[in-house]
Structure 1
Amino acid sequence: MIYRFPCVTVLFDANLRLLWWKWVDASKDVAFKEVFEQLLQLSDELKPFRWLADVSSLPAVSLIHQHWLSESWLPQYRRLHIQALAILLPSSLHNQLALENLVDNALPTTHCDMQYFTEVLAALDWLALMDEECAAQLHRQWLAAV
């Protein structure tokens, strides 16, 4: 199932309980908090076990947004009980460092397997429990939708 929000496209695969989201409009920084709140709300409804967060094209994350993610958003994310999180690395070094800082602060309190990736198929393969055909099928479904 495909969901479209301002700045973000989301695919949910019920078989894998996978929520895959990608920031698709780096020019709209103003929607930052709203997008992350929508991701929480959608996750509350769909109850995924796995997340694929494609933040490769995320706009520059300001210090205010970093603080908000850490103090307000992350505690809400923890209650989702995501078991596996694959992150497609941001293209900007600034965002990579901000993400690493956020993850470093979160890891001690999050019981979630997490991996960084540079390629979507590798991330899907890991999340699909090494089922290459399942990963390829999800990738085709994504490409057809976006």
Structure 2
Amino acid sequence: MALERLLLFSRQYKIRQWLVDISQMPPLGNDEQAWVSQRWVAQFARIGVSNLALMLPDDLHNQLAMEHILDSGRCYTQLNVQFFADFPAALDWLSKTPEDVQRLEKEWFVAANTAPQPSIQNLSLDKLLD
């Protein structure tokens, strides 16, 4: 449900860059991996996200699963994907200026401390950088 809501939000607000914290995500099962790879990725490709920054999962299994999902989605999109160990590096990759990085860092940490599900966070970076 969360992944589908992210698609709706991104479509509605024309979001083109995502920063997603999957560091604490529960282990992905085979059925979940198959659903994301076979159904969700094609929908994701149609919304036009061009840059995806992912916080490295603590679980090696999840990192390998995400890499497999992203690999399977390469036929749908020319998405730029990077894994990051820390937020400032991810924000730097997504931002145009150092000032944007500082502003977004503050917003990210506020969101991380107030989000009901900290493992699924998404900032509308396009709106913030305008």
**What is the CA distance between 1:90 and its match in structure 2?**
0.8
Match of 1:138 in 2: 104
Contact 2:10/2:16 (8 A) holds in 1: no
Q: TM-score, normalised by structure 1?
A: 0.72
Deviations 1:43-86 (A, max 9, x none): 11111111111111111111110000011111100001111111
Structure-2 separation of matches of 1:85 and 1:101: 15
Structure-1 separation of matches of 2:52 and 2:76: 14
The residue identity in structure 1 corresponding to 2:104 is L
Answer 1 or 2: higher relative contact order, Cα 8 Å, separation at least 6: 2
Residue ranges of structure 2 left out of the alignment (5+ in a row):
114-130
Count of aligned pairs: 112
Q: Which runs of 4+ in 1 moved over 6 A?
A: none
Counterpart of 1:40 in 2: which secondary structure? helix
Structure-1 separation of matches of 2:63 and 2:82: 14
Q: TM-score, normalised by structure 2?
A: 0.80
Query: Which structure shows the bigger proportion of residues in helix conformation?
Result: 2
Residue ranges of structure 1 left out of the alignment (5+ in a row):
1-33
Is residue 2:83 matched to residue 1:116? yes
Structure-2 separation of matches of 1:38 and 1:109: 20
Residue identity (%):
37
The residue identity in structure 1 corresponding to 2:37 is S
Match of 1:65 in 2: 32
